[in-house]
Structure 1
């Protein structure tokens, strides 16, 4: 357990529906990380782009990617976080994996499938939030469209870090910027948002805007470039601001029904 969590955000272009090429590209970027970090966060569907034709991706690719994440996590002594197309039991999932360097694995299936793109017709929605305890920090990872639904992200568990991995297009980037900052402030938690860059095969353009906010909504990292961003999260900052402001103590009590 430590008082600081050093993180790296990998913001990059994705090669359409080509898991092997994306793993090779991301491996180069991860190997280029110049400092010791505790957690490396990748975009949504980082092996394929935001595809609505998951049947084109071999089922084995999901397991290959998880094994690759385990290898990279051990190599860098850091957790790897990101979502991929995953097939299980005859269903497709937009599944986020949180892979720790000791090979411990946790997963979260995207709760809010993006109806505008027909994701709800292709992928099975998840039903449970994930909370991971890692190196002294409680972490809640979510996926892209989940960002628009604050009740799902509400900090009823007293987590320290809220993560969103995404393929969020340029035409709606103002919403991404605005809602990420709001989620940090209202939940009094560090906010980590990782988006992609480039253009996908559907003509959507992506301009990054990956970012890290502290619990007051101050930006610690931001970029529109193809790059790796770095930030240090401090447990003392969370404790001090929550004790001083106590906003979470005034939150509404509710039960979320499926």
Structure 2
């Protein structure tokens, strides 16, 4: 079993509702990653920014982006994940894809659509959480507004890593920082939080603050700049902390319905 996972976070500005330009931008950034990594994480809606007008995006763009992810994952021999506008079964979704270098695909549809922006009226919400087994690590991927709902993230399945991809704006960035740390501490798991930078056409600014936080709530990496961040996640750190501090043994047991 692999005992360490090498992770790269791409914290970037996004071009509004322009999948082709965003894919080109991320292709260039992926090419700049020279270190051997196992997993690369991109922001929420990384091909369009956080648009509430998915009808402006050609319906086939979601499939084109998944094919692009497959190509990049194979070329770099790395897993690639991030969310996008995706049209399926007659509905739009804010869908996160986890693409492995061998071509395996997993996806998660955002459960908590952002009512403040009207996302709940435009995108169908997901109903299921997923756990991805990758290189000996159990990964739970979630999206932006999900961060505010700790019950949905509760570590009832002994995952190792919690991922949040986001477009989280400057006025509420203190909540982002605090809640990422809280999710790591309460779930005794690494938390990877990936935000964007720059501004969008709706007047929102995004300050980055992408980070990796360890099981005890300490930051491993953090940045406010447009950059690529690197972190090493250790199974030994997880197991030693959980063995010494058996807090997860005292967690509440429940199931989610509706």
Name the TM-score class by shorter chain.
over 0.9
Name the structure 2 match of 1:71. Answer: 71
Counterparts of 1:216-255 in structure 2, within 5 Å, are 216-255=216-255
Residue 174 of structure 1 pairs with residue 174 of structure 2: yes
Name the structure 2 match of 1:152. Answer: 152
Residue 112 of structure 1 pairs with residue 90 of structure 2: no
Cα displacement string for residues 104-141 of structure 1 (whole angstroms, at most 9, x for unaligned residues): 00000000000000000000000000100000000000
Please provide the CA RMSD for this pair: 0.4
Name the structure 2 match of 1:54. Answer: 54
Name the structure 1 match of 2:27. Answer: 27
Name the structure 1 match of 2:141. Answer: 141
Gaps of 5+ in 2: none
CA distance in 1, matches of 2:226, 2:238: 30
Cα offset, 1:257, TM superposition: 1.2
> Does the residue aligned with 2:2 lie in a helix, a strand or coil?
coil
Cα offset, 1:254, TM superposition: 1.3
> Does the residue aligned with 1:230 lie in a helix, a strand or coil?
strand
Q: Report the number of matched residues.
A: 258
Name the structure 2 match of 1:40. Answer: 40
Query: What is the TM-score with the length of structure 1 in the denominator?
Result: 0.99
CA distance in 2, matches of 1:8, 1:94: 22
Cα displacement string for residues 159-189 of structure 1 (whole angstroms, at most 9, x for unaligned residues): 0000000000001000000000000000000
Cα offset, 1:253, TM superposition: 1.2
> Does the residue aligned with 1:158 lie in a helix, a strand or coil?
coil
Name the structure 1 match of 2:256. Answer: 256
CA distance in 1, matches of 2:201, 2:103: 34
Name the structure 2 match of 1:124. Answer: 124
Cα offset, 1:34, TM superposition: 1.9
CA distance in 2, matches of 1:146, 1:179: 11
Name the structure 2 match of 1:15. Answer: 15
> Does the residue aligned with 1:59 lie in a helix, a strand or coil?
coil
Query: What is the TM-score with the length of structure 2 in the denominator?
Result: 0.99
CA distance in 1, matches of 2:125, 2:61: 20
Cα offset, 1:49, TM superposition: 0.2
Cα displacement string for residues 143-166 of structure 1 (whole angstroms, at most 9, x for unaligned residues): 000000000000000000000000
